[in-house]
Amino acid sequence: MIDLPTDSLHPLPAMFRPAFCAIALLSSASFAQTPAPPPGHDHSVEIPGLKKELFAGVTAEDLLRPGAEPGSVKVTLVATFNAANYGMNFNGYSHGKANLTIPVGTKVHVTFINPSPVPHSAIVIDRPDTKKLQIAEPWFPGGATPKHLVGQTMGKSEFSFTADEAGEYALACGFPSHAVAGHWVALTVSAEAKVPTLQFGDQPAKEVK
Protein backbone atom coordinates (compact mmCIF):
# COMPACT_ATOMS: atom_id res chain seq x y z
CA MET A 1 0.00 0.00 0.00
CA ILE A 2 1.21 3.53 -0.79
CA ASP A 3 1.27 5.96 2.19
CA LEU A 4 -0.13 9.30 1.15
CA PRO A 5 1.31 12.50 2.64
CA THR A 6 -0.59 14.17 5.43
CA ASP A 7 -0.82 17.80 6.39
CA SER A 8 1.41 17.21 9.38
CA LEU A 9 4.23 15.83 7.26
CA HIS A 10 4.03 17.36 3.79
CA PRO A 11 1.27 19.91 3.40
CA LEU A 12 -0.76 19.23 0.26
CA PRO A 13 -3.58 21.55 -0.76
CA ALA A 14 -6.95 19.84 -0.47
CA MET A 15 -7.81 20.59 -4.12
CA PHE A 16 -4.88 18.42 -5.36
CA ARG A 17 -5.45 15.42 -3.08
CA PRO A 18 -7.99 13.55 -5.31
CA ALA A 19 -5.68 13.78 -8.35
CA PHE A 20 -2.69 12.59 -6.29
CA CYS A 21 -4.65 9.56 -5.07
CA ALA A 22 -5.71 8.65 -8.61
CA ILE A 23 -2.13 8.79 -9.89
CA ALA A 24 -0.89 6.63 -7.03
CA LEU A 25 -3.55 3.99 -7.65
CA LEU A 26 -2.88 3.88 -11.38
CA SER A 27 0.84 3.47 -10.78
CA SER A 28 0.23 0.57 -8.41
CA ALA A 29 -2.06 -1.14 -10.91
CA SER A 30 0.48 -0.71 -13.69
CA PHE A 31 3.21 -2.46 -11.72
CA ALA A 32 0.87 -5.25 -10.69
CA GLN A 33 -0.30 -5.98 -14.26
CA THR A 34 3.09 -5.95 -16.01
CA PRO A 35 3.40 -9.43 -17.62
CA ALA A 36 6.54 -11.50 -17.19
CA PRO A 37 8.44 -12.50 -20.36
CA PRO A 38 8.06 -16.10 -21.59
CA PRO A 39 10.43 -18.54 -19.85
CA GLY A 40 13.88 -18.67 -21.43
CA HIS A 41 13.37 -15.69 -23.74
CA ASP A 42 12.94 -11.96 -23.45
CA HIS A 43 12.72 -8.87 -25.65
CA SER A 44 15.95 -7.25 -24.49
CA VAL A 45 18.13 -5.53 -27.07
CA GLU A 46 20.63 -8.37 -26.80
CA ILE A 47 20.13 -12.02 -25.87
CA PRO A 48 22.48 -12.86 -22.98
CA GLY A 49 24.97 -15.71 -23.08
CA LEU A 50 25.60 -15.82 -26.84
CA LYS A 51 28.87 -17.26 -28.11
CA LYS A 52 29.33 -14.42 -30.60
CA GLU A 53 32.56 -15.69 -32.12
CA LEU A 54 30.54 -18.46 -33.78
CA PHE A 55 28.82 -16.00 -36.12
CA ALA A 56 31.24 -13.08 -36.29
CA GLY A 57 30.94 -11.37 -39.68
CA VAL A 58 27.74 -13.18 -40.69
CA THR A 59 24.96 -10.94 -42.07
CA ALA A 60 21.36 -11.38 -43.16
CA GLU A 61 22.56 -11.59 -46.78
CA ASP A 62 24.47 -14.76 -45.90
CA LEU A 63 21.16 -16.57 -45.71
CA LEU A 64 21.68 -17.32 -49.40
CA ARG A 65 24.88 -17.15 -51.44
CA PRO A 66 26.04 -18.84 -54.66
CA GLY A 67 27.69 -22.18 -54.05
CA ALA A 68 31.21 -23.23 -54.97
CA GLU A 69 30.02 -25.46 -57.83
CA PRO A 70 27.51 -24.70 -60.62
CA GLY A 71 23.90 -25.29 -59.70
CA SER A 72 24.51 -24.99 -55.97
CA VAL A 73 23.90 -22.47 -53.19
CA LYS A 74 25.32 -21.85 -49.74
CA VAL A 75 22.89 -21.19 -46.89
CA THR A 76 24.07 -19.89 -43.51
CA LEU A 77 21.47 -20.08 -40.75
CA VAL A 78 22.24 -18.38 -37.45
CA ALA A 79 19.69 -19.15 -34.77
CA THR A 80 19.24 -16.40 -32.17
CA PHE A 81 21.02 -13.90 -34.43
CA ASN A 82 19.49 -11.14 -32.30
CA ALA A 83 16.58 -10.60 -29.88
CA ALA A 84 13.88 -10.49 -32.59
CA ASN A 85 10.98 -12.86 -31.85
CA TYR A 86 12.46 -13.64 -28.42
CA GLY A 87 15.62 -14.90 -30.14
CA MET A 88 13.74 -17.43 -32.27
CA ASN A 89 14.98 -16.17 -35.63
CA PHE A 90 17.43 -17.03 -38.39
CA ASN A 91 19.79 -14.16 -39.21
CA GLY A 92 17.28 -11.78 -37.64
CA TYR A 93 14.19 -13.01 -39.55
CA SER A 94 11.23 -15.12 -38.45
CA HIS A 95 7.69 -16.05 -39.53
CA GLY A 96 8.85 -16.46 -43.15
CA LYS A 97 9.78 -12.79 -43.53
CA ALA A 98 12.90 -13.80 -45.45
CA ASN A 99 12.29 -15.83 -48.63
CA LEU A 100 15.02 -17.86 -50.32
CA THR A 101 14.07 -18.80 -53.91
CA ILE A 102 16.09 -21.36 -55.86
CA PRO A 103 15.60 -23.23 -59.16
CA VAL A 104 14.47 -26.85 -59.09
CA GLY A 105 17.42 -29.22 -58.88
CA THR A 106 19.65 -26.86 -56.89
CA LYS A 107 22.13 -28.47 -54.52
CA VAL A 108 21.85 -26.72 -51.15
CA HIS A 109 24.72 -26.67 -48.65
CA VAL A 110 23.61 -25.45 -45.21
CA THR A 111 25.75 -24.27 -42.32
CA PHE A 112 23.70 -24.08 -39.15
CA ILE A 113 25.02 -22.06 -36.20
CA ASN A 114 23.47 -21.76 -32.77
CA PRO A 115 25.45 -19.43 -30.47
CA SER A 116 22.80 -19.68 -27.75
CA PRO A 117 22.53 -21.92 -24.67
CA VAL A 118 18.90 -22.54 -25.71
CA PRO A 119 18.61 -25.61 -28.02
CA HIS A 120 17.81 -24.99 -31.69
CA SER A 121 18.15 -26.91 -34.94
CA ALA A 122 17.31 -26.67 -38.66
CA ILE A 123 15.12 -28.78 -40.92
CA VAL A 124 13.54 -28.40 -44.37
CA ILE A 125 9.78 -28.88 -44.16
CA ASP A 126 6.65 -28.28 -46.19
CA ARG A 127 5.57 -24.72 -45.40
CA PRO A 128 2.15 -25.65 -43.92
CA ASP A 129 4.01 -27.88 -41.45
CA THR A 130 5.31 -24.79 -39.66
CA LYS A 131 1.99 -24.98 -37.79
CA LYS A 132 2.85 -28.41 -36.38
CA LEU A 133 4.56 -28.87 -33.02
CA GLN A 134 7.24 -31.12 -34.48
CA ILE A 135 8.25 -32.87 -37.73
CA ALA A 136 9.89 -36.28 -37.66
CA GLU A 137 11.70 -36.18 -41.01
CA PRO A 138 12.87 -33.47 -43.47
CA TRP A 139 11.03 -33.06 -46.77
CA PHE A 140 14.20 -33.61 -48.78
CA PRO A 141 16.55 -36.47 -47.79
CA GLY A 142 19.46 -35.13 -45.78
CA GLY A 143 17.72 -31.81 -45.14
CA ALA A 144 18.20 -31.47 -41.39
CA THR A 145 20.77 -31.10 -38.65
CA PRO A 146 21.55 -34.24 -36.61
CA LYS A 147 18.94 -34.96 -33.93
CA HIS A 148 16.86 -31.96 -34.95
CA LEU A 149 14.18 -32.73 -32.35
CA VAL A 150 16.78 -32.47 -29.57
CA GLY A 151 18.64 -29.48 -30.98
CA GLN A 152 22.12 -28.28 -30.17
CA THR A 153 23.62 -25.43 -28.18
CA MET A 154 26.60 -23.17 -28.75
CA GLY A 155 27.88 -24.95 -31.83
CA LYS A 156 27.50 -25.48 -35.55
CA SER A 157 26.74 -28.29 -37.98
CA GLU A 158 26.37 -28.77 -41.72
CA PHE A 159 24.05 -30.67 -44.01
CA SER A 160 23.23 -30.81 -47.72
CA PHE A 161 20.23 -31.74 -49.84
CA THR A 162 19.03 -31.47 -53.42
CA ALA A 163 15.84 -29.45 -53.93
CA ASP A 164 14.42 -31.69 -56.66
CA GLU A 165 10.72 -30.83 -56.26
CA ALA A 166 9.10 -27.45 -56.85
CA GLY A 167 7.03 -26.09 -54.00
CA GLU A 168 6.80 -23.79 -51.01
CA TYR A 169 8.90 -24.98 -48.09
CA ALA A 170 10.50 -23.61 -44.93
CA LEU A 171 13.87 -23.77 -43.27
CA ALA A 172 12.65 -24.14 -39.73
CA CYS A 173 13.90 -24.85 -36.25
CA GLY A 174 13.12 -28.51 -35.59
CA PHE A 175 13.05 -28.21 -31.82
CA PRO A 176 9.46 -28.96 -30.74
CA SER A 177 7.11 -25.93 -30.87
CA HIS A 178 9.74 -23.49 -32.18
CA ALA A 179 8.46 -23.42 -35.77
CA VAL A 180 4.94 -22.76 -34.48
CA ALA A 181 6.40 -19.78 -32.62
CA GLY A 182 7.72 -18.38 -35.91
CA HIS A 183 11.28 -19.74 -35.95
CA TRP A 184 11.48 -20.26 -39.74
CA VAL A 185 12.36 -18.58 -43.02
CA ALA A 186 10.72 -19.36 -46.35
CA LEU A 187 12.29 -21.56 -49.01
CA THR A 188 10.71 -21.51 -52.46
CA VAL A 189 11.83 -24.09 -55.02
CA SER A 190 10.72 -22.76 -58.40
CA ALA A 191 10.46 -24.38 -61.83
CA GLU A 192 10.50 -20.89 -63.38
CA ALA A 193 13.44 -19.37 -61.50
CA LYS A 194 16.70 -19.19 -63.42
CA VAL A 195 18.87 -17.84 -60.61
CA PRO A 196 18.71 -17.87 -56.79
CA THR A 197 17.12 -14.79 -55.22
CA LEU A 198 16.70 -13.50 -51.67
CA GLN A 199 13.82 -11.34 -50.46
CA PHE A 200 13.40 -9.58 -47.12
CA GLY A 201 9.84 -8.62 -46.17
CA ASP A 202 8.14 -6.52 -48.82
CA GLN A 203 11.40 -5.49 -50.48
CA PRO A 204 12.02 -6.64 -54.07
CA ALA A 205 13.76 -9.98 -54.43
CA LYS A 206 17.43 -9.68 -55.41
CA GLU A 207 19.69 -12.08 -57.22
CA VAL A 208 22.29 -13.42 -54.85
CA LYS A 209 25.95 -12.78 -55.59
Distance CA 170, CA 126 (A): 6
Q: Which pLDDT tens digit goes with each residue over 91-117? A: 999 999 999 999 999 999 999 999 999
Phi, psi of 186 (to 5 degrees): -80, 140
The predicted pLDDT at position 45 comes to: 65
Question: Can you list the domains of the chain with their CATH numbers?
Answer: 52-202 (2.60.40.420)
Position 69, amino acid: E
Q: Summarize the confidence of residues 73-92 as an average pLDDT.
A: 97
Q: Which pLDDT tens digit goes with each residue over 148-162? A: 999 999 999 999 999
Q: Which pLDDT tens digit goes with each residue over 139-198? A: 999 999 999 999 999 999 999 999 999 999 999 999 999 999 999 999 999 999 999 999
98-103/197-200 β-pairing: antiparallel
- Can you say whether the dihedral through the CA atoms of 49, 53, 56, 60 is positive or negative? negative
pLDDT at 40 over 60: no
- Count CB-CB contacts under 10 A for residue 22: 10
Banded model confidence at residue 8, pLDDT cuts 50, 70, 90: very low
